[in-house]
Structure 1
Amino acid sequence: MKYKILKKQKIGKMCAVCGSENEFGLKSTFYELDDGQVLALCVPRQEHQSYPGRMHGGIAGALLDETIGRAIYIKDKNAWGVTIELKLRFHKPIPLDEELRAMGRITRDTRRIYEGEGEIFLKSGEIAVSATAKYFKVPLEANDHIEEQRNEIWETSTFVKEPVEIEI
């Protein structure tokens, strides 16, 4: 299935999942899609392994948590979420040094909680990991303690060639 990319999301400099300056991070890039989902692109490296040649399951969980959680911003630009539950199901091993595509979406929005789901896709298009998650709603102004440092911690990542559409 093809998706049109609408916008690239900002990344954190030291985030474990997207941090451009975190030498051990996944250095994921996130995009908002035309159907309300978030797409993450990354290539796990040797430092992300568990068994030789395989990505660690906890790192796969972190990637899905971040991807699903970023879909909140599409639903409500004035809120963010704190993870209160993340359930993972592992379907296939994830190889290292191969591009991964993770997709996340919000499936339910209540007064206090967002619920979402997502998947990590292998290069073949097969689902390697699927997840469901719940996030406690927090207004953006609750983030005031980092707002002063926003320019130091957030930036727009750049690819050599930005994609305009993606096929999963």
Structure 2
Amino acid sequence: MKYKVLKKQNSSKTCLVCGVKNDLGLKARFYQLENGELASIFNSKEFHQSYPGRVHGGISAAILDETIGRAISVSDETVWGVTGSLELRYKKPVPIDCDLITVARVTRDTRKLFEGEGEIILPNGEIAVTAKAKYVKMPIDQIADECDMAEEWLPIPDDEPVEYIEIPGR
């Protein structure tokens, strides 16, 4: 099924998941969708693998943690989350060197905490990894030490604007 993209989220310069200047990172891009979910698109490389041809489970955990943690900003751009817990279920191998989609949503939102869930979806529509997580809400100045957010948190335009994202298997 295709979903309309409402907004592309900013990226970091150095983050392992979204950092545009991190040569070993995933360089994931994040898109807020019309159905209230957040989708990330990434393409893992050989240096992200564990067994030959398969993404390391820790990399799968990182992309899911980032996508679920960012999902709160679909409804409130001022909220930042710090991971309290992350539970994953590995169902299928995640291949390297292909475009993959991670989709996440907030399932519970309170004054100080939020919870969410997400999944990595393979190109054929199968779900490879699922996750549930809990986050503590914090202001960015309590999370990042002496960081100039204008220098670190950047709007990165796509080469071609993304208007819709097709999520296989839906």
Which range, TM-score by smaller chain? Answer: over 0.9
Q: Deviations over 1:115-157 (max 9, x none)?
A: 000000111111010000000111345357445x112111122
Aligned to 2:129: 129
Aligned to 1:68: 68
| Distance in 1 separating the partners of 2:137 and 2:127 | 28
| Distance in 2 separating the partners of 1:82 and 1:94 | 26
Q: Which amino acid aligns with 1:64?
A: L
- Alpha-carbon offset, residue 160 of structure 1: 1.8
TM-aligned CA distance change 1:144 to 1:87, over 3 Å: closer
Q: Deviations over 1:50-80 (max 9, x none)?
A: 0001000000000000001111112322221
Matches within 5 A, 1:1-168: 1-140=1-140, 142=142, 145-146=145-146, 149-168=148-167
Q: List 4+ stretches of structure 1 deviating above 4 A.
A: 143-147
Q: Deviations over 1:65-99 (max 9, x none)?
A: 00011111123222211000000001110111000
Q: Which amino acid aligns with 1:105?
A: R
Q: Which amino acid aligns with 2:153?
A: W
Q: Which amino acid aligns with 2:152?
A: I
TM-score of the superposed pair, with normalisation by structure 2: 0.93
Moved more, 43-52 or 136-145: 136-145
Percent identical residues: 50
TM-score of the superposed pair, with normalisation by structure 1: 0.94
Q: Which runs of 5+ in 1 are unaligned?
A: none
| Distance in 1 separating the partners of 2:97 and 2:143 | 35
Q: What secondary structure does 2:128 align onto?
A: strand
| Distance in 2 separating the partners of 1:118 and 1:22 | 24
Q: What secondary structure does 1:7 align onto?
A: strand
- Alpha-carbon offset, residue 163 of structure 1: 1.7
Q: What secondary structure does 2:150 align onto?
A: helix
Q: Which amino acid aligns with 1:9?
A: Q
